[in-house]
């Protein structure tokens, strides 16, 4: 399927089954160039499966998937670093020769001074930053993120949210973010999609009107709280027995 | 009344020489072993009823080297060379065979299900008792020695390679899949490095087994230059207990060297990055 | 195959009968035993002296006299069992057979304990002789005496076997025309021997056997039928065992290791040399009896063979002997000169040029194995001091 240059990824009528169980049904979504789209949904609703289908790691049972020819970046729940490679070697794993970009990314993520360390010497936040840097070093048009901040403490998580926002501003990539945190989705995304479970369907879509760059103050605004509340109500309506 | 005391100064001994503190317990055990050895040597009836005062059954530690003339030393040296060579080459082959088998089984579930029960069968068989048959088929050659050593030593490496390869997380595999990595690239840059701590754990066991295979298997190698195992039986037949104990100590020393070599290699290749 | 064997057995019987007659002729008049009828033959007056010795044994020897043999009871040990009275008892646990020490029917007043070797002892005989003070005499070959001289010096006082029955034997039908160890070594895959034996070292050093043909795996199994090898054995035993295999007779040929130059005296009665002085009076009385008993046994083996077979049965091990095998052994010992006067008329003596030559030949071979052998001469490991020079094999 031809991809509109203004569209980073598009899914039409995607459904997927694992054996008898329907996991995804009639999923359609579009990620526009430069846009960050978040998907929220209850655990086990098929968010990760959807992300793997977008990445091309999983062939859907049916439907059409369009993704950038240049490939996609993927940031997993865990940092998925190569423990036997030092920080800079991990950062360069997927890079295509451009040293300057990797050094730039290491610098802005505060990893440059740690570049000779082993992954086990890094904090959880540093590991996740490195995972992000590794994905971005390949200069993907579309970055897929599967609950990348879920395992971090709140302070670190919020700090990474801002760093991610800054990277997005400077690098201009598109992103599809799967998360179970509505806060996170609203803070990071331009649009939030709500997914129901068993089978997973897109049951709601919320535009996030807050301008960028966003700052921590936004989290404590009533508009932010109201939007989070709306999404939560939509989510709970479809959450089923979960 | 409630005067505040300065904290007690830590005891100097532990501070001044932590190395000594660490070495003391094993040295104490060594002392006990040597004391027990002396006790045994001097409690056996007529152990020293010989003409020259040498021990007839068990030499006390200070008499270990009494019978070590040039000819005996040269016999022990050539036996050491045979056993060391067998153990070393055998271990290298066991690594090769073990890693290849582990990799092959990790690539294919059907290969794994075909091979695994038989590998277990080989593992639980005391292969040493098959030595005479192996000798009968291949001849009492270096090849036969190697076969015995490899059969005894390869399993821990094969199984640990398999488990190590299988332990690579899905996310890491996905990273390589997304990068369009070839199977070979994935093996070299992801699976083998990830499996290396497990492989080294297997290697540590296999190194000990290789020495056992080379030395104990040698009891059955009755032709050509004797290795340490057969030399021990020769010394035993001649009741030359000093050289016999020395030969046994050398066998232990080879085992120790292998252990230390594997540990050193592990410290070089794995320890810096691996946190279990 | 059958006919030469039959004729051989016939000869054994003849020899036995003949020997019995001769022995009967040589027996002293004072004997009361039925089978040793009095005689007036003058050719063996020495027997009178021996009998006189027998009388005083109780005054000079501690009882029991203990002889440690090197293996299960077998015909090669006949001379010692010859001295065992019919009142013997067998201790299967220790492998010891104890009875009155009887010479030609006359009870000497001391007991004789003959101990089986092999699995019944933890160490070689020579070591046992130093570990166990109760052993009077042990079987020690001249090569072993040399090997262990530094820490366990022994002194041989009598050789029971003049020539070593040790052979290398092979399947005659597979190797027709082969008559020497050197020739068979070139034809077979390996020569199987038990452990690192000095005689095999000697054969290798002499170029008789290539070193890669030596296999030290011999466990006493008759392997010629199933394997392309030659192996060690006793001329007095293995050829007969092969000829009577249940799975089919195998015709064997062999060469004595003695004939290739390893002229060790194989089965000497030796003492712990540290105990020479206290034992001296006993040996002077006892050794002539052992000399004569060995001759008596060869000449009239029946009673003692029966004793050996009985002891073997009572020891209740996997070891077996048969009257036929015993007859073959006795016949072979005579035919090959295994029990013989040698070059001097004195029976059981250590002959000077032979033992000197052997010491000169063996010491370098043994030293090569790392055995710490001091510079010694034949007289250090053997003496003729206690022999009765008049006792000779007729």
Taking CB atoms within 8 Å and a gap of at least 24, the contacts of C82-91 are: C82/C293, C82/C294, C82/C296, C82/C297, C82/C304, C83/C112, C83/C289, C83/C290, C83/C293, C84/C112, C84/C114, C84/C304, C84/C307, C85/C112, C88/C307, C88/C311, C90/C310, C90/C311, C90/C314, C90/C315
Q: Which two tokens stand for residue C55?
A: 């009388």
pLDDT of residue B9: 53
* Chain A residues contacting B via beta carbons under 8 Å: 52, 55-57, 71-74, 76-78, 80, 82-85, 93-94, 118-120, 138
Residue of chain A minimizing CA distance to B180: A71
Residues A60 and A95 in one domain: no
Which one has a higher pLDDT value, B96 or A235? B96
Give the residue among C82, C74, C119, C120 at the shortest CA–CA distance from C104. Answer: C82
In chain B, what residues touch A49 (CB-CB under 8 Å)?
Answer: none
- Residue C171 gets which letter from DSSP? E
pLDDT of residue B8: 55
Question: Closest Cα of chain C to B225: distance in Å?
Answer: 9
In chain B, what residues touch C198 (CB-CB under 8 Å)?
Answer: none
Low-confidence ranges of chain A (pLDDT < 50): 1-2, 242
- Across C28-92, where does the E strand assignment appear? 65-68, 89-91
Architecture in CATH for domain B79-269: Orthogonal Bundle (1.10)
How far separated are the first and last CA of chain A, in Å rounded? 36
What is the ipTM, given to two decimal places? 0.88
- Residue C382 gets which letter from DSSP? B
Hey, which chains touch A, using 3+ CB pairs under 8 Å?
A: B
For chain C, the maximum distance between any two Cα atoms, rounded to a whole number of angstroms, is 60
CA pair distance C389, B166, nearest whole angstrom: 86
Average pLDDT, chain C: 86
Contact (Cβ atoms closer than 8 angstroms) between residue C51 and residue C41: no
Strands C229-234 and C89-91: unpaired
Position B83 pLDDT exceeds 60: yes
In chain C, what residues touch B74 (CB-CB under 8 Å)?
Answer: 370
pLDDT of residue A240: 57
Q: What is the mean pLDDT of residues C328-344?
A: 94
CA pair distance A95, A112, nearest whole angstrom: 16
**CB-based touch C/A (3+ pairs, under 8 A):** no
CA pair distance C238, A116, nearest whole angstrom: 77
pLDDT of residue C53: 58
- Dump pLDDT digits (tens) for C51-104: 555 668 899 999 999 999 999 999 999 999 999 999 999 999 999 999 999 999
pLDDT of residue B221: 78
Q: Which two tokens stand for residue A81?
A: 């670093």
- Dump pLDDT digits (tens) for C356-392: 999 999 999 999 888 889 999 999 999 999 999 999 9
pLDDT of residue C2: 38
- Nearest Cβ partner of B222 from C211, C215, C370? C215
Query: Across the interface, do C371 and B240 touch by the CB < 8 Å criterion?
Result: yes
pLDDT of residue C380: 96
Backbone angles phi, psi at C91, to 5 degrees: -100, 100
Query: Across the interface, do C368 and B49 touch by the CB < 8 Å criterion?
Result: no
Residues A158 and A241 in one domain: yes
Q: Which two tokens stand for residue C61?
A: 């020897």
One-character DSSP codes across C95-108: TEEEEEEEETTEEE
**Tokens 């010891």 found at:** C96
Q: How confident is the model at residue C282 (pLDDT cuts 50, 70, 90)?
A: very high
Which one has a higher pLDDT value, C331 or A109? C331
In chain C, what residues touch B243 (CB-CB under 8 Å)?
Answer: 370
How far separated are the first and last CA of chain C, in Å rounded? 32
Q: Which two tokens stand for residue A236?
A: 């709970």
Please report, rounded to a whole number, the percentage of residues in chain C having pLDDT higher than 90: 71
- Dump pLDDT digits (tens) for B134-161: 877 887 778 888 998 999 999 999 999 9
Q: Given CB atoms, is B43 within the 8 Å cutoff of chain C?
A: no
Question: CB-hemisphere CA count at 13 Å for A100?
Answer: 0
Position C128 pLDDT exceeds 90: yes
In chain A, what residues touch B193 (CB-CB under 8 Å)?
Answer: 82, 84
Q: C166-260 in CATH: which number? A: 3.40.190.10
Query: Across the interface, do A55 and B169 touch by the CB < 8 Å criterion?
Result: no
Residues A160 and A231 in one domain: yes
Domain range enclosing A102: 77-139
Question: CB-hemisphere CA count at 13 Å for C30?
Answer: 13
Q: Which two tokens stand for residue C374?
A: 């001091």
Q: Outline which parts of chain C fall under CATH 3.40.190.10.
A: 2-163+265-381, 166-260
Backbone angles phi, psi at A190, to 5 degrees: -90, -30
Which one has a higher pLDDT value, C50 or C100? C100
Question: Closest Cα of chain B to C254: distance in Å?
Answer: 22
pLDDT of residue B15: 54
- Nearest Cβ partner of B178 from A57, A82, A83? A57
CA pair distance C59, C51, nearest whole angstrom: 14
Question: How far, CA to CA in Å, does B2 sit from each of A164, B5, B6, B9, B184?
Answer: 57, 9, 12, 20, 73
pLDDT of residue B154: 93
Query: Exposed, middle or buried: residue B133 (CB in 10 Å: 0-12, 13-18, 19+)?
Result: exposed
CA pair distance A53, A47, nearest whole angstrom: 10
Residues A98 and A197 in one domain: no
Count of domains for chain A? 2
pLDDT of residue B72: 92
Question: How far, CA to CA in Å, does C97 sit from each of B268, C179, C314, C362?
Answer: 66, 40, 10, 34
* Chain B residues contacting A via beta carbons under 8 Å: 169, 171-172, 174-175, 177-180, 189-190, 193-194, 196, 272-275
pLDDT of residue C111: 96
Residue of chain B minimizing CA distance to A81: B172
- Looking up residue A235, the CATH number of its domain turns out to be 3.40.50.300
pLDDT of residue C42: 32
Sign of CA dihedral B101, B104, B109, B115: negative
Strands in C166-171's sheet, in edge-to-edge order, are: C214-215, C190-192, C229-234, C166-171, C252-256
For the stretch C200-223, what's the b/e string if a residue is b when 16 or more beta carbons lie within 10 angstroms of its beta carbon? bbbbbeeebbeeebbbbbbeeeeb
Contact (Cβ atoms closer than 8 angstroms) between residue A41 and residue A26: no
Sign of CA dihedral C178, C182, C186, C192: positive
Contact (Cβ atoms closer than 8 angstroms) between residue A108 and residue B208: no
Q: How confident is the model at residue C340 (pLDDT cuts 50, 70, 90)?
A: very high
In chain C, what residues touch B240 (CB-CB under 8 Å)?
Answer: 370-371
Query: Across the interface, do B234 and C195 touch by the CB < 8 Å criterion?
Result: yes
Question: Closest Cα of chain B to A93: distance in Å?
Answer: 9
**CB-based touch A/B (3+ pairs, under 8 A):** yes
Lowest mean pLDDT among B157-161, C3-7, C105-109: C3-7
Query: Across the interface, do B46 and C196 touch by the CB < 8 Å criterion?
Result: no
pLDDT of residue C3: 40
- Nearest Cβ partner of A57 from B174, B194, B274? B174
In chain B, what residues touch A73 (CB-CB under 8 Å)?
Answer: 178
Please report, rounded to a whole number, the percentage of residues in chain B having pLDDT higher than 70: 94
pLDDT of residue B1: 45
Report the top-level CATH class of C2-163+265-381: alpha beta
Residues A161 and A242 in one domain: yes
Hey, which chains touch B, using 3+ CB pairs under 8 Å?
A: A, C
Residues A100 and A34 in one domain: no
Instruction: Give the relative orientation of helices C198-205 and C352-368 as an angle to the nearest 10 degrees.
Output: 90
Query: Exposed, middle or buried: residue B132 (CB in 10 Å: 0-12, 13-18, 19+)?
Result: middle
Residues A114 and A91 in one domain: yes
Question: CA angle A35-A36-A40, nearest 5°?
Answer: 145
Query: Across the interface, do B174 and A76 touch by the CB < 8 Å criterion?
Result: yes
pLDDT of residue A196: 86
Question: Closest Cα of chain B to A206: distance in Å?
Answer: 30
Q: Given CB atoms, is B133 within the 8 Å cutoff of chain C?
A: no
Strand partners, C115: C68, C96
Q: What is the mean pLDDT of residues C19-37?
A: 36
Question: Closest Cα of chain B to A171: distance in Å?
Answer: 20
- Nearest Cβ partner of B171 from A72, A80, A119? A80
Position C157 pLDDT exceeds 70: yes
C residues 96-135 closer than 8 Å to B (CB): 123-124, 126-127, 130-133
Tell me the count of B-C CB pairs closer than 8 A: 85
Residues with Cβ within 8 Å of B180's Cβ and at least 6 positions away in sequence, in order, are: A71
Query: Exposed, middle or buried: residue C102 (CB in 10 Å: 0-12, 13-18, 19+)?
Result: buried
Query: Across the interface, do B50 and C130 touch by the CB < 8 Å criterion?
Result: yes
Question: How far, CA to CA in Å, does A208 sit from each of A150, A166, A229, B27?
Answer: 21, 17, 13, 71
Question: Closest Cα of chain B to C279: distance in Å?
Answer: 17
Q: Which two tokens stand for residue A77?
A: 């729940």
Number of residues written out for chain C: 394
Residues with Cβ within 8 Å of B47's Cβ and at least 6 positions away in sequence, in order, are: B41, B55, B56, B57, B58, C131
CA pair distance C96, C286, nearest whole angstrom: 20
Position B107 pLDDT exceeds 70: yes
Alpha-carbon torsion, ordered B105, B109, B112, B113, to 10 deg? 180
Q: Given CB atoms, is B219 within the 8 Å cutoff of chain C?
A: no
pLDDT of residue A192: 96
pLDDT of residue C31: 37
Query: Across the interface, do C151 and B234 touch by the CB < 8 Å criterion?
Result: no
CA pair distance B85, A127, nearest whole angstrom: 46
Q: Which two tokens stand for residue C156?
A: 């041989």
Residue of chain C minimizing CA distance to B53: C151
- Nearest Cβ partner of B178 from A71, A78, A85? A71
| Top-ranked range on mean pLDDT: pick from B2-6, C20-24, C373-377 | C373-377
- Across A35-103, where does the E strand assignment appear? 36-40, 62-66, 72-75
- Dump pLDDT digits (tens) for C190-238: 999 988 888 998 999 999 999 989 988 887 778 888 888 999 999 999 9
């Amino acid at each position: 399927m031809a991809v509109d240059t203004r569209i980073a990824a598009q899914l039409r009528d995607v459904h997927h089954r694992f054996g008898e169980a329907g996991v995804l049904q009639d999923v359609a979504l579009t990620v526009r160039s430069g846009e960050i789209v978040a998907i929220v949904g209850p655990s086990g609703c098929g968010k990760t499966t959807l992300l793997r289908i977008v990445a091309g790691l999983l062939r859907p049972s049916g439907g059409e998937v369009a993704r950038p020819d240049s490939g996609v970046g993927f940031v997993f729940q865990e940092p998925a670093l190569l423990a036997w490679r030092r920080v800079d070697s991990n950062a360069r794993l997927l890079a295509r020769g451009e040293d300057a970009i990797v050094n730039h990314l290491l610098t802005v993520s505060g990893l440059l001074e740690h570049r000779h360390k082993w992954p086990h010497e890094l904090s959880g936040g540093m590991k996740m930053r490195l995972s992000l840097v590794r994905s971005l070093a390949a200069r993907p048009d579309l970055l897929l993120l599967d609950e990348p901040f879920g395992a971090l403490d709140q302070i670190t998580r919020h700090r990474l949210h801002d760093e991610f926002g800054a990277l997005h501003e400077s690098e201009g990539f598109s992103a599809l973010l799967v998360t179970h945190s509505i806060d996170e989705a609203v803070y990071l995304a331009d649009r939030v999609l709500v997914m129901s479970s068993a089978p997973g369907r897109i049951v709601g879509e919320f535009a996030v009107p807050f301008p960028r760059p966003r700052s921590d103050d936004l989290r404590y605004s009533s508009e932010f709280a109201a939007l989070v509340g709306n999404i939560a109500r939509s989510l709970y309506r479809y959450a089923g027995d979960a | 009344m409630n005067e505040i005391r300065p904290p007690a100064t830590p005891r100097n001994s532990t501070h001044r020489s932590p190395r000594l503190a660490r070495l003391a317990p094993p040295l104490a055990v060594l002392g006990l072993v040597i004391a027990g050895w002396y006790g045994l040597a001097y409690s056996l009836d007529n152990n020293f009823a010989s003409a020259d005062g040498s021990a007839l059954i068990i030499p006390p530690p200070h008499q270990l080297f009494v019978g070590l003339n040039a000819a005996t030393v040269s016999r022990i040296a050539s036996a050491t060379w045979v056993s060391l060579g067998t153990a070393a080459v055998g271990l290298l082959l066991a690594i090769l065979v073990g890693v290849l088998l582990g990799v092959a089984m990790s690539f294919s579930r059907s290969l794994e299900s075909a091979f695994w029960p038989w590998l277990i069968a080989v593992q639980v068989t005391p292969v040493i008792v098959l030595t005479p048959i192996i000798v009968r088929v291949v001849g009492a050659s270096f090849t036969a020695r190697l076969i015995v050593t490899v059969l005894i030593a390869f399993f821990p490496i094969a199984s640990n390679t398999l488990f190590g390869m299988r332990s690579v997380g899905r996310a890491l595999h996905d990273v390589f899949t997304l990068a369009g990595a070839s199977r070979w690239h994935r093996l070299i840059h992801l699976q083998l490095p990830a499996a290396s701590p497990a492989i080294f754990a297997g290697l540590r066991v296999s190194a000990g087994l290789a020495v056992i295979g080379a030395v104990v298997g040698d009891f059955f190698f009755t032709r050509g230059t004797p290795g340490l195992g057969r030399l021990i039986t020769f010394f035993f037949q001649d009741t030359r207990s000093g050289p016999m104990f020395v030969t046994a100590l050398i066998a232990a020393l080879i085992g120790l060297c292998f252990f230390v070599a594997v540990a050193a290699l592990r410290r070089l290749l794995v320890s810096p990055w691996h946190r279990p | 195959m059958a006919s030469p064997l039959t004729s051989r057995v016939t000869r054994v019987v003849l020899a036995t009968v003949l020997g019995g007659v001769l022995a009967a002729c040589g027996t002293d008049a004072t004997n009361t035993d039925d089978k040793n009828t009095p005689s007036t033959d003058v050719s063996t007056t020495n027997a009178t002296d021996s009998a006189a010795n027998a009388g005083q044994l109780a005054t000079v020897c501690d009882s029991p006299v203990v002889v440690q043999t090197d293996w299960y009871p077998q015909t090669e040990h006949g001379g010692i069992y010859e001295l065992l009275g019919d009142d013997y008892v067998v201790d299967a646990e220790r492998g010891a057979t104890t009875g009155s020490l009887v010479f030609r029917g006359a009870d000497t007043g001391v007991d004789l304990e003959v101990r089986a070797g092999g699995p019944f002892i933890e160490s070689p005989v020579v070591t046992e002789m130093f570990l166990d003070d109760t052993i009077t005499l042990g079987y020690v070959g001249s090569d072993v005496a040399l090997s262990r001289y530094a820490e366990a010096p022994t002194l041989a006082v009598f050789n029971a076997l003049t020539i070593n029955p040790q052979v290398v034997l092979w399947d005659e039908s597979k190797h027709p025309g082969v008559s020497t160890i050197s020739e068979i070594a070139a034809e077979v895959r390996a020569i199987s021997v038990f452990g690192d034996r000095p005689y095999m070292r000697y054969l290798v050093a002499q170029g008789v056997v290539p070193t890669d043909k030596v296999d030290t795996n011999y466990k006493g199994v008759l392997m010629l039928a199933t394997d392309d090898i030659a192996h060690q054995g006793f001329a007095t035993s293995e050829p007969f065992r092969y000829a009577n295999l249940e799975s089919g007779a195998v015709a064997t040929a062999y060469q004595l290791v003695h004939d290739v130059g390893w002229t060790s005296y194989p089965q000497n009665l030796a003492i712990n040399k540290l105990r020479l002085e206290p034992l001296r009076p006993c040996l002077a009385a006892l050794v002539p009896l052992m000399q004569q008993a060995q001759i008596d046994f060869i000449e009239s083996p029946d009673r003692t063979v029966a004793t050996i077979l009985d002891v073997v049965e009572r020891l209740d091990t996997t070891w077996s002997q048969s009257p036929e095998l015993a007859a073959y052994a006795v016949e072979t010992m005579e035919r090959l000169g295994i029990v013989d006067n040698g070059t001097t008329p004195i029976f059981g003596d250590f002959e000077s040029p032979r033992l000197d030559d052997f010491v000169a030949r063996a010491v370098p071979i043994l030293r090569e194995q790392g055995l710490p052998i001091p510079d010694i001469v034949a007289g250090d490991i053997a003496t003729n001091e206690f022999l009765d020079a008049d006792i000779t094999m007729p």
